Structures are given as structure tokens and as C-alpha cells.
Amino acid sequence: MSNKGIKEYIVKKEKGIYELPYGSIYGMKLPCRLILSEKLLDEIDEEAIKQLARVAMLPGLASAPVGLPDMHWGYGVPIGSVIGFQRKDGIISSGMVGFDINCGISLFKTGLSKERVIEHKERLGKFLLKKIPTGVGSKSNIRLTEIELNRVMEEGARWCVKNNYVSESELKHIEDEGRLEGADTSKVSKEAKKRGIKQLGSLGSGNHFVELSYVKNIFDKKEAEKYGLKKDTICVMIHTGSRGLGHQIATDYVKLHLKAMERYKLSFPDKQLAGAPIGSPEAEDYLKAMKCAANFSFANKLVLASFVEKGLNEFFIAGEEKRLKGIYTISHNICKKEKIQGQEIFVHRKGATRAFPEEPAIIAGSMGSSSFLMKGTEKSLKYSLGSTCHGAGRALSRKEAKQSLNLAKVKQSLDAKGISVFSHSEKGILDEAPKAYKSIYKVIESTEDAGISKKIAEFSPLIVIKG
């Protein structure tokens, strides 16, 4: 590459779709595809684009690596990226999935009225904060034996059905019905199990949240009716993952994959891209352990949902309108074997969601802006490996947010919008302040311009519980 900045090599292919051409950086085997607007291109850190370019140097890629509108710098690969490998010469990479395995979002509707929630907003928020274990290292009051933890990791959402946290009919509202087949608990370390055994039904910290929101706008009435959504419907959104269990599994297998690279004589431009050849013991063992974390995450969100439902029934008079009814649960940070346009591909989604044609996708904004229910399209299979973005994407690092933002002003800004935030950590609120994120509206517009997903409904927050 010459002295030109990497953005100067990017070319527009069509509306909402840009490309970093093959050869922009020496060693690239394929171009990189960027799905965004011109405005968002200006906002993306060049280091994130360089990360994606380094991915394009890897063997066995099934298609061009994809950067989505919420793309920002991450571990090894940008958060907001999708990378697919073919079986021949391809790899499975623990770093490309990341440390919060199957971090994802669950969306539920309730029968509560918007007026009633607004009327009791402050008391209700404080009440729910007491009911939901939040924060770094937070622990649930659920006590599992190791045998029962293994069952959670093997069964995922079905464990919640067996233990009366949710009805079986809810499983159809979860990606993969809340269980990835092939999980093997013998591939999970004792340290990972130790970290996870007390965390089922806990939110954690960082960008994780529980939110009560209302339907602000309906864009596709027919699709919204499928989910029973109308204007002002009160919904509950839960964003969390596999907690310490998933983090330790990732840590363990990043180390193993670094050793595997030596064993298989693989040389990559960044050690954080470490992986093992598809079909190798190191790749297969990781996938089995990753599925354990993914299943734990599915169960974790359902248990948290049961805590929220119980809290609503305690706060108000118990009744049918307090029930949480699933709209959909979607995964981020996952690796799956999928058939896309007739080709078997091992798809790594890092801060990305599946968006197969006509399937739902949930895209979260910041705690000061709307979130969206979308649906995937045929075009997503062609341009983004059946994927769309997962959120607004960070504009400021957590360190930058703490240094440049004022907590009192952040709270005042949220209050002015009618949004109440509740957290045991002031640091957590600053880290996740709205100004730390890109505009969700620009991000959503970019996905629609590119044609990879379409809006169904918009949700505006009223109460946000932060980790």
C-alpha cells in the first residue's frame, strides 16, 4: 500500500455497497465488502477497515469478508463483520467469534399499557433493578450442580422448558429453537464451568441491558401483525450472552488455536485471527465447546425473562397482560455451518445477526435511541452471507466515553427524552452513553439501502436496566 489512506482505495459498487478492492493491501486474496452509507464510511476507524483487509489474506475464504454499517475495531476482526470459510483450506477461529459467545437479543411483547408503565416508571425501574443480577461477575440466585450445568449447556432453551421457566411453544420464537446440536461438555474446561455455574440468570456488564420499550412506529403492518405488534405495545428487550462461561471458553481456545497454527504450519497476518483447519480436532473441539456456551446463553436470556415477568407480576397485580410472549431471540458472536446460495459455508458472525430471507432480525440502538425489528432478504444471501448488523456500533471507545462525557449531562439528556436508566454502576452508564454510539437511524438506513434487511417496527425505550 502507498502513502494513501486505506479509505482512498474504497470504491462504490452500488447503493449502500462499497468495496475495498483486491490488492489494496499486499497479501489480500479477495476484496472486502462494506455495507454502509457515505456518511458512515467517513465515521469508520481506518484500523477497523485494515482488520477486515487482513482477514482477506486468509486461506479458504468462501467469499469477500463483509463489514456492516455498525463496524468498529474489535479483537482480531471488526465488531460488525461476517466472514465465511469453505471446507477446503478454511479455518474455524475462536477469535473471530470473540469472547462473548452468543451474546444476543431477545424481544418479548407484553399486554401492559404504555400509560401505566410511564406512570410508574421510576418505581418500576428501581424495583426491576433489584430483581435482575447485574454488573461484572454478577451471580444469580439459581444454584446449579455441575451435572445440571452440563444439562443447560447441552439442552439450551429446552432446559428452561423442562424446568418450567418457559412453555415449549416459545421455542419457535428463538433462532435454532434455542439449542445448537453437537454441544459436548467434555470440551469445556473446569475453569469455564466454575465461572458459569453461578451465572445462569444474570445480565453482566458492558453493553448488556434489559429494556422496557414501546412500539413507536410500524413500517410493515402485515409483518407486525404476525408478531401481534401494534403502536404503543410495551415490549421487553434483553441483551446478554454466555457470561464468564463463554469468556473462558474463548480464552482457552484462543490459546489452543495459537498452538494449532504452529502444528499445521499456518501463518496469518495477526495472531488474533488464530484458528485451526476445518475438520481438525482443534476446530471440532472448539465448535463443540462454543455450542455449550451458545446453549447456556439461550437459557440465560430465558431465565432473565422469567425474572422480569415475575417482577412485573409482583409490581402490578398478577394477570395475563404481564406475561412475556416471545417475538424472537437472535444470536450475535457465533460460528455456524450454513448453506448459502448452494454452498456449504462456515460463517463467523462477530457483532452480526442472521438475516435469511423473511426471517426476523433485531437491531439494537443505544440506551438513548430506538431499536428495530427487521426481516432478512434474498439480497442478504448474495451480499452479506445471510446477515445484517446487530446494533448502532461504537463511535467512542469506553475509555474515550469516560474521558469526554459527563454523567449528569448524560442523565439529563435521557430524562429529556423520557428515558429512565437504572444501574448499580455509574461507570456503566458513561461507557454506554448514547454519544458513544453511531446513529442507529443511519445504520438502519444503510441496511435498507443495500437491501439486506427491511424495517418492520421501531421500539423506543422507557426503562433501561444496565449492567
Q: Decide if 308 is inside a domain.
A: yes
d(CA 415, CA 70): 26
Between helix 281-315 and helix 121-131 the angle, nearest 10°, is 130
Nearest Cα to 395, choosing from 32, 4, 42? 42
* Cβ-based neighbours of 221, under 8 Å, separated by 6 or more: none
d(CA 135, CA 137): 6
Helical (H) or strand (E) element with 388: strand 387-389
* Residue 413 near residue 368 (C-beta atoms within 8 A): yes
Separation in Å, CA 407 to CA 6, 367, 393? 36, 14, 21
Query: By 3-state DSSP, what share of the chain in percent is helix, strand and coil, each rounded to 5?
Result: 40, 25, 35
Query: Could you tell me whether strands 17-20 and 387-389 are parallel, antiparallel, or unpaired per DSSP bridges?
Result: unpaired
DSSP reduced 3-state for 406? coil
Taken in order 341, 346, 351, 354, is the CA torsion positive or negative?
Answer: positive
Nearest Cα to 201, choosing from 142, 130, 128, 245? 142
d(CA 463, CA 126): 10
* Residue 62 near residue 345 (C-beta atoms within 8 A): yes
DSSP reduced 3-state for 60? coil
* Cβ-based neighbours of 264, under 8 Å, separated by 6 or more: 276, 277, 280
d(CA 325, CA 28): 47
Q: What is the CATH number of the domain that holds 333?
A: 3.90.1860.10
Q: Which three cell numbers stand for residue 220?
A: 410493515
Chunked into runs of 10 residues, the chain (467 residues) has average pLDDT values of 77 97 94 96 95 97 98 97 98 97 98 96 96 87 95 98 97 98 98 97 94 98 97 98 98 98 96 97 98 98 97 88 95 97 97 98 96 98 98 91 89 94 86 92 97 98 94
Catalytic sites, residue numbers? 390
Residues linked to residue 375 through DSSP beta bridges, in sequence order: 360, 454
Q: Which three cell numbers stand for residue 339?
A: 448453506
Helical (H) or strand (E) element with 39: helix 38-43
d(CA 260, CA 264): 6
**How many domains does the chain contain in total?**
1
Q: Decide if 134 is inside a domain.
A: yes
Locate all alpha helices (DSSP H) within 2-66, ordered by sequence: 38-43, 46-55
CB atoms within 10 A of CB 204: 25
* Residue 372 near residue 455 (C-beta atoms within 8 A): yes
Amino acid at 196: G
Domain that holds residue 217: 6-466
pTM, two decimals, is 0.97
Separation in Å, CA 48 to CA 45, 72, 142, 179? 6, 6, 39, 32
Nearest Cα to 243, choosing from 185, 187, 304? 304
The position carrying cell 424446568 is 163
Q: What are phi and psi of 465, to 5 degrees?
A: -100, 120
d(CA 70, CA 170): 30
In terms of Cβ atoms closer than 10 Å to its own Cβ (0-12, 13-18, 19+), residue 4 is exposed
Report the pLDDT value the prediction gives residue 1, as an integer from 0 to 100: 45
Report the pLDDT value the prediction gives residue 321, as an integer from 0 to 100: 86
Q: Decide if 1 is inside a domain.
A: no
Report the pLDDT value the prediction gives residue 428, as an integer from 0 to 100: 78
DSSP reduced 3-state for 456? strand
d(CA 296, CA 208): 16
Helical (H) or strand (E) element with 427: helix 426-431
Helical (H) or strand (E) element with 442: helix 440-450
Report the pLDDT value the prediction gives residue 422, as an integer from 0 to 100: 94
Helical (H) or strand (E) element with 226: helix 221-226
